[in-house]
Amino acid sequence: MRILAASTALVALGLLALWLWTPDLSRTTLLAQYGTSTDQFTELAGLRLHWRDTGPDKEAGQVPTLLLLHGFGSSLQTWEAWADVLSKEYRVIRIDLPGAGLTGPDPTGDYSDERALQILDALLAHCAVEHVIVIGNSLGGRIAWEYAASRPERVDKLVLISPDGFASPGFEYEKPPEVPGFLKLMQFVLPKALFRMNLEPAFAHPESISEALVQRYYDMMRAPGVRAALIARMQQTLLHDPHERLARIKAPTLLLWGEKDQMIPHTNAKDYLEAIPHSTLVTLLDVGHVPQEEAPKRTLAPLVAFLRAPGVASSSSSGTLP
């Protein structure tokens, strides 16, 4: 009887695991659903990079080039609404960062910021771009300011949207974070309802998140190898006090920060404003961590004004956008 009960329990557990198992989706499926005629895949620095290149004239030097870097767990589609407008005036290059979207895992297994900068160098060389305006959100914001700090001669302007980089709960300086076991399990089990719960804090008004947006995030998380790569990136994250590097930034810098950001709080903006020499803060009222998706039309206005302005941003200035 005990053997029968144990066998029944094992079968039940096996069926439950099979029911909950969340397999990867193929690149072919994802491209059919989310791809456009502008999608490109290029071998750069040992990585097959997925990127898009749009604009009125993509010849080098004809129009300013914008390089857009998404956040953790996101993909280049996060910029779609902004890119549609910006591409009328600028060359707009968007990428899936290593370990994300249709770029997928980096064969080197290296997800350090230094590796990301190497890939950006290779991409800009491939595109014959010598000077660039870098725009980054969250993790992409950290990579953006690292690039501007280490290659100040290449970055004409810098836009940071709720950037990562300063220590926060769970992310101390000089200490890799501990990745909880339940996060490691997402490689195998990723219920959509649970995924949505983890996505909602990025928005000030989660009730307004469309089903299509949730589905796209969920599907891109299931791109081949992405979940394991994201875990590897988390395990390799090693923050260093950024003050000395931020002080090297020469480019006029715009900080865009949602007032209701629950992922990286608006209070962190003060640290960047004090550390970056020529920086301006625009607080986005009633907006969360991803303004380019939550309120794209309203939050694009200060970015466009900054891009068109010829001068250098005044140090430590700030304002709000209702």
Q: Over the chain (322 residues), what is each successive 10-residue block's mean pLDDT? A: 41 42 96 97 97 82 92 98 97 98 98 97 97 98 98 98 90 87 88 94 95 98 97 94 97 98 95 97 98 97 96 56 58
Sheet order of strands, 253-258 included: 39-44, 47-54, 91-95, 65-69, 132-137, 155-161, 253-258, 279-284, 317-321
Q: Please state, as a whole number, how many other Cβ atoms lie within 10 Å of the Cβ of residue 321.
A: 17
**Calpha distance 164→168 (Å, rounded):** 9
User: What pLDDT does 61 receive?
Assistant: 64
pTM: 0.91
User: What pLDDT does 111 receive?
Assistant: 97
CATH number (domain holding residue 145) = 3.40.50.1820
Query: Is 274 inside any structural domain?
Result: yes
User: What pLDDT does 294 receive?
Assistant: 97
Query: Is 20 inside any structural domain?
Result: no
Q: Identify the bridge partners of residue 44 per DSSP, sorted by sequence position.
A: 47
User: Which residue segment(s) compose the domain that 287 sits in?
Assistant: 26-321
Report the domain count for the chain: 1
User: What pLDDT does 311 receive?
Assistant: 61
User: What pLDDT does 62 receive?
Assistant: 83
**Calpha distance 190→222 (Å, rounded):** 9
For 92-120, write each residue's pLDDT tens digit.
999 999 999 999 999 999 999 999 999 99
Query: Is 153 inside any structural domain?
Result: yes
Query: Is 18 inside any structural domain?
Result: no
